[in-house]
Amino acid sequence: MKYKQIPAAIHNFGHSFVSLMNLVDDEYIIDLLPAVLRGIPDETLAIYFPAGTLKPHGDYPRRLLQSVEYWVASFPDHLRSEGVDPGVLTEVCLVLSMSPGLRCEARAVDDRGKSYTVAVVPA
């Protein structure tokens, strides 16, 4: 496993989450996110993987929670397909915000303590 592949792997994972690949019950999650984010005091939501926890805690739409469950289940396989051992990442999160417009950052920390932050352009 090459650590230099981590930024690309988390970028691609984040891009998949905020793309038209993320569809639940005929609704694209990217279309749901702006309203969800505007309902949060600082308009920022962090989704942690592989646990699937959302911060801040709140009452989120069922479709968003279903989507997170799906991406939690596929997270290890996604990393492996990118050449990254899921065991080397001690923390991974997607940070979604509305400033200005929908923004996404993929963040990770590896087992050496090195942090990675990659901007993801929602599509």
Go through 64-95 and write b for each residue having 16 or more CB atoms within 10 A of its CB, e for each that does not: beebbebbbeebbebbeeeebbbeebeebbbb
- What is the model's pLDDT at position 1? 79
The pLDDT assigned to 46 comes to 98
- pTM as predicted: 0.94
First to last CA, the chain: 29
The distance from CA 48 to its chain's CA centroid, rounded to whole angstroms, is: 7
Q: What is the pLDDT of residues 66-91, one digit of tens each?
A: 999 999 999 999 999 999 999 999 99
The distance of Cα 23 from the centroid of its chain, to the nearest Å, equals 15
Query: Would you say residue 122 has pLDDT above 90?
Result: no
How confident is residue 26, by pLDDT bands cut at 50, 70 and 90? confident
